Amino acid sequence: MTMELLNKIDSPADLKKLPVEQLPQIASELRAFILDTVSKLGGHLGSSLGATEITIALHYAFDTPKDRLVWDTGHQTYGHKVLTGRRGRMSTIRQFGGLSGFLKRSESEYDAFGAGHASTAISAALGMAVARDLKGEKNKVVAIVSDGCMTGGESYEGLQNAGQVQTDLIVVLNDNQMFISSRVGALGAFLSKLLTLGAVRNAEHSIKTFLARFQFWGGSILRVAKRAKVLLFPGMLFEEMGFSYFGPVDGHDVEQLAQVFKHVKQLKGPVLVHCVTKKGKGYPQAEADPYTWHGPGKFDVATGQFLKAPVSKTPPPAYTAVFSQALLREAEADPRIIGITAAMPEGTGLDALRDRFPRRYFDVGLAEGHCVTFAAGLACEGYKPVVAVYSSFIQRAYDQVEHDVCLQKLPVILCLDRAGLVGEDGPTHHGVFDFSLLRMLPGMTVMAPADENELQHMLRTALRFDGPVSIRYPRGSGVGVAMDAQAKELPIGKGVRLKDGCDVTILAVGNRVHPALEASQLLEDQGISCGVVNMRFVKPLDVELLKECASKTPRLVTVEDNALQGGFGSAVLEALTPGRAEVLRLGIADHFVEHGAPHLLYDALGLSADKIAQRVAAWVPGKSRTLI
C-alpha cells in the first residue's frame, strides 16, 4: 500500500489538517505501516493494530502534547509513535540504541508517562489532572486503558479516587475482549455478572413490562429489550464511581470516534468512553489468534508464516517449557500442587497444567499482589501453590511476599520467568532486581539454576521444602545440557565446585555459570589458573564452600545478572570475614539497562564470557593482558 497521506504526517498538527473523511484512509495506511514494521523486526502487533482508530481520533480531537495522553502498558502505542514524529525511526524499534517498544518520557514529549507494566494509566493521569488544577491550567488529560488492565487493582484505586476528586479527567476504555492471554476476571466478565443482579434485573423486568403493553410489536421487541439491557446498563459501575459513561462506541469507526472525543472533552468532571475493538484488527491471522500475534517475531505479511533463522541442529528446550513439563510431572504425582498465574498462562508455561488439571489452575488477571496472597491462603490449607510470574512483575507484589508469605513462613513457590536481561522489551521488563529484593526477606530461600537440567531439580527441591522459595530462570533456550530422566532433590544452600584453580575462583549463579566456565578457559589460555563454582543458592549461601574457595585462591570473582546493590555479590561480601579474600563483583551497576538483543547487552555490561575473562585478567596482579 502506498502511504499517500501517512508520509505527509510528521506530527499531530499535520493530521489535524486533513478533513475527517480522510481519517479512514489514514487508518488503513497506518495499519499497513505497523504490519510492515513488525514483520521485519518483531514486536507488539495485535494491540497496536486494534488501537489504530482510537490513536488517530485522539490525536485528531485533542491538542497533544499540551493535552496529555497517558497510555496504559504501551503495547498499543506503535501508531502513537508513528503519528508523533517517529515514523522515520520505527525501523529501529526495540533494537539496541533504537526506539523503545514502550512509552518513554525521554524519547518524546508526546509520551506523557512511561509505561511497560499494566494498570498505571488512570492513577498517573489523575495526578496530572490535579497538577493542572493546582497550576491553574486548562489542558485535558486522557488515560487510555485496555480491558485487561482493568483486572489490576490499581486501575480501580485510580477510578475510585478520580470519582472522589471529581476533576476533569477522561478515561478511554479500549475493550478488545483480550489482553495478552484471554482475559480472566476482567471488566466484561464482571459486568456480565453485574447485569444479573438486583437493580439491573429489576430494570430489565420493568422494560419488558412496559414494552409488553404494545402487543402489536409482538415477541421481537422483548429480544430488543434483552439487548437494550446490555446497551443501557454496562456503564452502571462507572456511574456509581462518579464517572459520566459513554458507550459502547465502535472503536474502529474513526470518524465517529473523533466526534465523540471532541464532544466529551467539553464535559466537566470524570468521563469514561467505552470503545469496543478487535485485537489484531485488519490482519486476519492476528484476529484469529491474538495470543500468538500479540508479540510475534519476524514474519511474512502475505502468508503469515514466521521467518526463522536456519539452525544446524535442534535448539535446546526453552526454560519455560522445561518448567512447564517438570511442574506437570510433579502435579501428576501430588494432587496438592496448584498453579497460579497473573494473566500469563502461555508466557509462563502454566497452560500445560491448565489443560491437564483445570481445577488446579488459576489465572487471577493482572493482579500480582492478589496472586501471591491467594497462594498464601492455599498454603495455609495444606496445598502447594506455585506462582509463575515474570521476574519484573513480582516487584508489584513485594509487600504480599513479605507480609503474607515470609512473615508466616508459608510454603509458596515463586517461579520467576524472564529473569536477568530479557532483551528487546527493555528496562521495564528486565528481571534484574529479584535477588536483591527477595534475599533480604527472612525465611526466603533464593535459588537459580545454571541450566535447564538444574531447573527441574530445583522445582522438585522447592516442592519438598517447607517454606517460601523463589526460583529464577531466564527467557529463551537452555544451554543444551543432557536432561536427567528423573528430577532429584538438591541439598538446600549448597553449591557445587565445577573446576579448580589456584589464581582466582569465579563464583557464579544462574545463567552466568556457563559463561563463567567459558571465561575460565580463556583465562587458562592466558596462563591464569581459574576455578569455577556454581553457587546455586543466593540464600542461604554456602558459607562453608565460600571459605574453602577463599583458602584455595586469594581472589574471588562473583558473577550475576542482577543489580550489584544487594545482590549475590553483596551476599558473598557479607558472609566473608573482612580481609579473608579480595573480591571482584561483576553484575549490573546502579542504572537501568536499555533494550537490545541479550547478547549485545551482556557484552556491553561486561557479563559475556569474553568480557568476564577480560575483566578478571585485568584484575589479577602481574597477569594482566589483552584477551583476543
- Which of 538-557 are b and which e, b meaning 16 or more Cβ less than 10 Å from the residue's Cβ? bbbbbeebbeebbebbebbb
Q: What is the dihedral of CA 517, 521, 524, 530, to 10 degrees?
A: 0
562 phi/psi in degrees, rounded to 5 = -135, 165
C-alpha cell belonging to residue 462: 522447592
Cell readout for 550 is 577463599
Q: State how far the alpha carbon of 271 is from the alpha carbons of 112, 188, 235, 241, 352, in Å.
A: 19, 19, 11, 11, 41
Separation between Cα atoms, residue 626 and residue 315, nearest integer Å: 33
Annotate 96-112 with DSSP letters as a single string: TTS--SSB-TTT-TT--
Cα torsion 570, 116, 371, 351 to 10°: value is -110
- Where do the H-state alpha helices sit in 236-357? 236-240, 254-264, 284-288, 319-333, 345-348, 351-356
DSSP state of 315: P
Active site residue 29: no
| Cα–Cα distance measured from residue 318 to residue 285, given in angstroms and rounded to the nearest whole number | 25
CB under 8 Å to 50, separation ≥6 — which residues? 76, 174, 176, 251, 277, 278, 279, 280, 281
What distance in Å separates the CA atoms of residue 9 and residue 77, rounded to the nearest whole number?
Answer: 16
Radius of gyration of the chain (CA): 27
Helix (H) or strand (E) holding 416: strand 413-417
**Choice among 87, 140, 396, 460 that is catalytic:** 396
**Which one of the listed residues 29, 53, 346, 368 is annotated catalytic?**
368
Helix ranges, 468-597 (H): 513-525, 543-552, 568-575
Give the separation between CA 201 and CA 212, rounded to whole angstroms.
Answer: 16
Work out the angle at residue 164's Cα, subtended by the Cα atoms of residues 162 and 165, and round it to the nearest 5 degrees: 65
DSSP code at position 433: S
For residue 227, count CB atoms less than 10 angstroms from its CB and return exposed for 0-12, middle for 13-18, buried for 19 or more.
exposed
368 is catalytic: yes
Q: Which of 81, 279, 281, 460 is catalytic?
A: 279
Distance CA 347, CA 390 (A): 9
User: 286-304: string of b/e by CB count within 10 Å (b at 16+)?
Assistant: bbeebbbbbbbeebeeeeb
CA distance 555 to 564: 18
Length of the chain: 628
**Residue 518 cell numbers, joined:** 567459558
| Distance (Å, whole) CA 474 – CA 491 | 22
Contacts of 582 (CB under 8 A, 6+ apart): 554, 555, 556
Tell me which residue of 430, 350, 419 sits closest to 388, measured CA to CA.
350
Find the helix or strand (DSSP H, E) in which 435 lies: helix 434-439
In 3-state terms, what secondary structure has residue 59?
helix
Sheet holding 530-534, edge to edge: 496-499, 530-534, 504-508, 555-563, 582-588
Q: Tell me the catalytic residues.
A: 279, 368, 396
